[in-house]
Protein backbone atom coordinates (compact mmCIF):
# COMPACT_ATOMS: atom_id res chain seq x y z
CA UNK A 1 0.00 0.00 0.00
CA UNK A 2 1.37 3.38 -1.01
CA UNK A 3 0.51 6.37 1.12
CA UNK A 4 -1.35 9.50 0.11
CA UNK A 5 -0.16 11.33 -2.98
CA UNK A 6 -1.34 13.98 -5.43
CA UNK A 7 -4.04 11.81 -6.98
CA UNK A 8 -6.04 11.17 -3.83
CA UNK A 9 -7.64 13.51 -1.33
CA UNK A 10 -6.58 13.66 2.32
CA UNK A 11 -8.41 11.65 4.96
CA UNK A 12 -9.29 14.91 6.71
CA UNK A 13 -11.57 15.83 3.80
CA UNK A 14 -13.70 12.82 4.70
CA UNK A 15 -13.60 13.21 8.47
CA UNK A 16 -14.63 16.86 8.12
CA UNK A 17 -17.96 15.63 6.71
CA UNK A 18 -18.64 13.24 9.62
CA UNK A 19 -20.33 13.96 12.93
CA UNK A 20 -18.29 13.96 16.12
CA UNK A 21 -19.31 10.43 17.07
CA UNK A 22 -18.08 8.91 13.81
CA UNK A 23 -14.94 11.03 13.76
CA UNK A 24 -13.92 9.54 17.09
CA UNK A 25 -14.93 6.03 16.07
CA UNK A 26 -13.24 5.72 12.67
CA UNK A 27 -9.59 5.75 11.67
CA UNK A 28 -9.54 6.81 8.02
CA UNK A 29 -6.48 6.63 5.82
CA UNK A 30 -6.04 7.21 2.10
CA UNK A 31 -3.62 5.69 -0.40
CA UNK A 32 -2.59 6.85 -3.85
CA UNK A 33 -2.84 3.32 -5.25
CA UNK A 34 -3.03 -0.20 -3.87
CA UNK A 35 -3.77 -3.68 -5.09
CA UNK A 36 -7.01 -4.14 -3.18
CA UNK A 37 -8.35 -2.12 -0.25
CA UNK A 38 -10.09 -5.27 0.97
CA UNK A 39 -6.85 -7.25 0.97
CA UNK A 40 -5.06 -4.46 2.84
CA UNK A 41 -7.67 -4.38 5.59
CA UNK A 42 -7.84 -8.17 5.80
CA UNK A 43 -4.12 -8.14 6.55
CA UNK A 44 -4.67 -5.49 9.23
CA UNK A 45 -7.52 -7.54 10.68
CA UNK A 46 -5.28 -10.59 10.95
CA UNK A 47 -2.80 -8.43 12.86
CA UNK A 48 -5.48 -7.43 15.35
CA UNK A 49 -6.52 -4.02 14.01
CA UNK A 50 -9.69 -2.71 15.69
CA UNK A 51 -13.18 -2.08 14.38
CA UNK A 52 -13.44 1.18 12.43
CA UNK A 53 -10.33 1.08 10.24
CA UNK A 54 -11.16 2.63 6.86
CA UNK A 55 -8.98 2.67 3.74
CA UNK A 56 -9.75 4.70 0.62
CA UNK A 57 -7.58 4.34 -2.48
CA UNK A 58 -7.23 6.59 -5.50
CA UNK A 59 -6.91 3.49 -7.68
CA UNK A 60 -6.68 -0.30 -7.35
CA UNK A 61 -4.61 -2.60 -9.49
CA UNK A 62 -6.42 -5.75 -8.32
CA UNK A 63 -9.89 -4.59 -7.29
CA UNK A 64 -12.18 -7.47 -6.34
CA UNK A 65 -15.81 -8.27 -7.03
CA UNK A 66 -18.19 -11.05 -6.11
CA UNK A 67 -17.66 -14.61 -7.39
CA UNK A 68 -13.97 -13.98 -8.07
CA UNK A 69 -14.59 -11.22 -10.59
CA UNK A 70 -12.37 -8.16 -10.84
CA UNK A 71 -13.54 -4.58 -10.21
CA UNK A 72 -12.15 -1.94 -12.58
CA UNK A 73 -10.69 0.80 -10.39
CA UNK A 74 -8.92 3.51 -12.44
CA UNK A 75 -7.52 6.79 -11.17
CA UNK A 76 -9.69 9.88 -10.90
CA UNK A 77 -12.89 7.98 -11.67
CA UNK A 78 -14.37 6.58 -8.49
CA UNK A 79 -14.47 5.81 -4.81
CA UNK A 80 -12.69 2.63 -3.69
CA UNK A 81 -13.16 2.12 0.02
CA UNK A 82 -13.03 -0.71 2.57
CA UNK A 83 -14.11 -0.78 6.21
CA UNK A 84 -12.96 -3.18 8.92
CA UNK A 85 -15.68 -4.34 11.30
CA UNK A 86 -15.75 -6.57 14.34
CA UNK A 87 -19.51 -7.03 14.74
CA UNK A 88 -21.14 -9.12 17.46
CA UNK A 89 -23.25 -11.23 15.13
CA UNK A 90 -23.26 -14.92 14.14
CA UNK A 91 -21.32 -15.77 11.01
CA UNK A 92 -24.54 -16.93 9.36
CA UNK A 93 -25.79 -13.33 9.47
CA UNK A 94 -22.78 -11.81 7.67
CA UNK A 95 -24.97 -10.99 4.66
CA UNK A 96 -26.54 -8.28 6.80
CA UNK A 97 -23.37 -6.22 6.35
CA UNK A 98 -23.63 -6.33 2.57
CA UNK A 99 -27.32 -5.48 2.47
CA UNK A 100 -26.87 -2.63 4.95
CA UNK A 101 -24.00 -1.30 2.84
CA UNK A 102 -26.08 -1.52 -0.34
CA UNK A 103 -28.88 0.53 1.25
CA UNK A 104 -26.38 3.08 2.56
CA UNK A 105 -24.55 3.38 -0.76
CA UNK A 106 -27.71 3.76 -2.79
CA UNK A 107 -28.98 6.55 -0.54
CA UNK A 108 -25.61 8.36 -0.61
CA UNK A 109 -25.27 8.07 -4.38
CA UNK A 110 -28.71 9.63 -4.82
CA UNK A 111 -27.84 12.46 -2.41
CA UNK A 112 -24.67 13.39 -4.28
CA UNK A 113 -25.75 12.69 -7.87
CA UNK A 114 -29.34 13.94 -7.80
CA UNK A 115 -30.34 10.73 -9.62
CA UNK A 116 -32.25 7.62 -8.54
CA UNK A 117 -30.35 4.37 -8.03
CA UNK A 118 -31.66 0.89 -7.36
CA UNK A 119 -30.28 -2.31 -5.87
CA UNK A 120 -29.86 -5.47 -7.91
CA UNK A 121 -29.92 -8.31 -5.40
CA UNK A 122 -27.68 -8.86 -3.70
CA UNK A 123 -24.82 -6.35 -3.84
CA UNK A 124 -24.91 -4.11 -6.93
CA UNK A 125 -26.22 -0.56 -7.40
CA UNK A 126 -27.68 0.41 -10.78
CA UNK A 127 -28.67 3.66 -12.47
CA UNK A 128 -30.51 3.62 -15.81
CA UNK A 129 -29.81 -0.08 -16.33
CA UNK A 130 -26.06 0.09 -15.72
CA UNK A 131 -24.01 -0.93 -12.72
CA UNK A 132 -22.44 2.02 -10.91
CA UNK A 133 -21.43 0.37 -7.63
CA UNK A 134 -20.42 -3.02 -6.29
CA UNK A 135 -20.00 -4.29 -2.74
CA UNK A 136 -17.92 -7.20 -1.48
CA UNK A 137 -17.86 -8.36 2.15
CA UNK A 138 -15.20 -10.83 3.26
CA UNK A 139 -14.96 -12.26 6.76
CA UNK A 140 -13.36 -14.71 9.15
CA UNK A 141 -15.27 -16.95 11.57
CA UNK A 142 -14.26 -17.26 15.22
CA UNK A 143 -14.15 -20.55 17.11
CA UNK A 144 -17.45 -19.65 18.77
CA UNK A 145 -19.20 -19.37 15.41
CA UNK A 146 -19.33 -15.60 15.37
CA UNK A 147 -17.49 -13.20 13.11
CA UNK A 148 -13.90 -12.62 14.13
CA UNK A 149 -13.88 -9.74 11.67
CA UNK A 150 -15.49 -8.57 8.44
CA UNK A 151 -14.17 -6.29 5.72
CA UNK A 152 -16.79 -4.46 3.67
CA UNK A 153 -15.44 -3.15 0.38
CA UNK A 154 -17.29 -0.77 -1.88
CA UNK A 155 -16.45 0.61 -5.30
CA UNK A 156 -18.43 3.43 -6.91
CA UNK A 157 -18.02 4.52 -10.52
CA UNK A 158 -18.31 8.27 -10.01
CA UNK A 159 -17.24 9.38 -13.49
CA UNK A 160 -17.26 7.80 -16.94
CA UNK A 161 -13.72 8.17 -18.25
CA UNK A 162 -14.19 5.43 -20.82
CA UNK A 163 -14.89 1.86 -19.79
CA UNK A 164 -12.95 -1.15 -21.13
CA UNK A 165 -14.58 -2.99 -24.01
CA UNK A 166 -15.83 -5.85 -21.83
CA UNK A 167 -17.67 -3.38 -19.55
CA UNK A 168 -19.21 -1.17 -22.21
CA UNK A 169 -22.98 -1.34 -22.11
CA UNK A 170 -22.85 -2.91 -18.64
CA UNK A 171 -21.06 -0.40 -16.41
CA UNK A 172 -22.18 3.15 -15.85
CA UNK A 173 -21.24 6.14 -13.73
CA UNK A 174 -23.17 7.99 -11.06
CA UNK A 175 -22.13 11.39 -12.39
CA UNK A 176 -20.47 12.65 -9.21
CA UNK A 177 -17.74 15.27 -9.58
CA UNK A 178 -14.25 14.41 -8.25
CA UNK A 179 -14.44 17.14 -5.64
CA UNK A 180 -17.50 15.47 -4.12
CA UNK A 181 -15.96 12.01 -3.68
CA UNK A 182 -14.78 12.71 -0.09
CA UNK A 183 -18.33 13.75 0.74
CA UNK A 184 -19.66 10.61 -0.96
CA UNK A 185 -17.39 8.48 1.24
CA UNK A 186 -18.60 10.32 4.32
CA UNK A 187 -22.26 9.96 3.40
CA UNK A 188 -21.87 6.22 2.79
CA UNK A 189 -20.07 5.79 6.13
CA UNK A 190 -22.71 7.84 7.95
CA UNK A 191 -25.65 5.83 6.62
CA UNK A 192 -23.80 2.53 6.91
CA UNK A 193 -22.83 2.90 10.55
CA UNK A 194 -26.33 4.09 11.45
CA UNK A 195 -27.50 0.72 10.15
CA UNK A 196 -24.57 -1.22 11.66
CA UNK A 197 -25.40 0.02 15.13
CA UNK A 198 -28.76 -1.74 14.80
CA UNK A 199 -27.91 -4.74 12.61
CA UNK A 200 -30.08 -7.23 14.56
CA UNK A 201 -33.08 -4.91 14.09
CA UNK A 202 -32.60 -5.05 10.29
CA UNK A 203 -33.72 -1.45 9.84
CA UNK A 204 -31.88 -1.35 6.51
CA UNK A 205 -34.21 -3.92 4.92
CA UNK A 206 -37.10 -1.51 4.30
CA UNK A 207 -34.81 0.71 2.22
CA UNK A 208 -33.27 -2.33 0.54
CA UNK A 209 -36.66 -3.70 -0.50
CA UNK A 210 -37.89 -0.30 -1.67
CA UNK A 211 -34.88 0.05 -3.96
CA UNK A 212 -34.96 -3.48 -5.39
CA UNK A 213 -34.87 -3.47 -9.21
CA UNK A 214 -35.85 -7.13 -9.46
CA UNK A 215 -39.13 -7.17 -7.51
CA UNK A 216 -42.06 -7.86 -9.83
CA UNK A 217 -39.87 -8.99 -12.70
CA UNK A 218 -39.53 -12.36 -14.37
CA UNK A 219 -35.88 -13.34 -14.07
CA UNK A 220 -33.59 -16.11 -15.22
CA UNK A 221 -31.15 -17.52 -12.71
CA UNK A 222 -28.67 -20.37 -12.51
CA UNK A 223 -29.09 -22.73 -9.56
CA UNK A 224 -27.32 -26.05 -9.06
CA UNK A 225 -25.97 -25.78 -12.60
CA UNK A 226 -29.48 -25.47 -14.07
CA UNK A 227 -31.01 -22.40 -15.73
CA UNK A 228 -34.37 -21.60 -14.14
CA UNK A 229 -36.85 -18.74 -14.25
CA UNK A 230 -39.49 -17.22 -12.02
CA UNK A 231 -41.17 -14.03 -10.87
CA UNK A 232 -39.56 -12.11 -8.01
CA UNK A 233 -42.19 -11.46 -5.36
CA UNK A 234 -39.92 -9.68 -2.91
CA UNK A 235 -37.04 -9.97 -0.47
CA UNK A 236 -37.46 -11.28 3.07
CA UNK A 237 -35.82 -10.02 6.27
CA UNK A 238 -32.94 -12.47 5.80
CA UNK A 239 -32.22 -10.90 2.39
CA UNK A 240 -33.42 -14.00 0.54
CA UNK A 241 -34.91 -13.39 -2.90
CA UNK A 242 -38.48 -14.73 -2.96
CA UNK A 243 -39.23 -16.21 -6.38
CA UNK A 244 -42.40 -17.90 -7.63
CA UNK A 245 -42.09 -20.52 -10.36
CA UNK A 246 -43.85 -23.72 -11.40
CA UNK A 247 -42.69 -25.37 -8.17
CA UNK A 248 -44.21 -22.72 -5.92
CA UNK A 249 -42.55 -19.99 -3.87
CA UNK A 250 -38.82 -20.46 -3.35
CA UNK A 251 -36.46 -18.39 -1.15
CA UNK A 252 -33.10 -18.06 -2.91
CA UNK A 253 -29.85 -17.57 -1.02
CA UNK A 254 -27.20 -15.25 -2.40
CA UNK A 255 -24.50 -17.91 -2.46
CA UNK A 256 -26.49 -20.46 -4.42
CA UNK A 257 -27.73 -18.54 -7.47
CA UNK A 258 -26.36 -16.40 -10.25
CA UNK A 259 -28.87 -13.94 -11.70
CA UNK A 260 -28.68 -13.95 -15.50
CA UNK A 261 -31.31 -11.31 -16.26
CA UNK A 262 -30.01 -7.94 -17.40
CA UNK A 263 -31.32 -4.79 -15.76
Per-residue pLDDT, 1 = 46
Per-residue pLDDT, 161 = 83
- Please state, in angstroms and rounded to a whole number, the distance separating the CA atoms of residues 217 and 224: 21
Which whole-number Å values give the CA distances from 239 to 72, 216, 233, in the listed order?
A: 27, 16, 13
Residue 63 forms beta bridges with which residues? none
- Please state, in angstroms and rounded to a whole number, the distance separating the CA atoms of residues 12 and 28: 8
Question: Domain boundaries in the chain?
Answer: 11-210, 218-259
> What phi and psi values does residue 46 have, to the nearest 5 degrees?
-65, -25
Per-residue pLDDT, 262 = 86
Please give the CATH topology (third level) of the domain spanning 11-210. Answer: BirA Bifunctional Protein; domain 2 (3.30.930)
Q: Interior CA angle at 7 toward 170 and 115, to 5°?
A: 40
Q: What is the pTM of this model?
A: 0.94
To the question of domain 218-259 being in CATH 1.10.10, the answer is: no
Per-residue pLDDT, 143 = 86
Residues of the chain short of pLDDT 50, as ranges, are 1-5
Other CB atoms within 10 A of residue 39 CB: 19
Per-residue pLDDT, 68 = 63
- Please state, in angstroms and rounded to a whole number, the distance separating the CA atoms of residues 220 and 257: 10
Q: What is the pLDDT of residues 59-71, one digit of tens each?
A: 999 898 776 677 8
Task: Locate the DSSP E strands across 86-225.
Answer: 118-120, 124-127, 130-141, 147-157, 218-223
Spatial contact of 216 and 231, defined as CB atoms under 8 Å apart:
yes
Amino acid sequence: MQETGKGIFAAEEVTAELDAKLRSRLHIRTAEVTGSTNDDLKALAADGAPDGEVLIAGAQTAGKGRLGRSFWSPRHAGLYMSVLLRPSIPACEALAITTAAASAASIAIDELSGRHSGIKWVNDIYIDGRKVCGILTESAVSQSGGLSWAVMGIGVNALDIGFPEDLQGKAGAAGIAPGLIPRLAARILTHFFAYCDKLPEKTYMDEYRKRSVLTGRVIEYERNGELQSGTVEGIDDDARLIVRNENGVIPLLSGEVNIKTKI
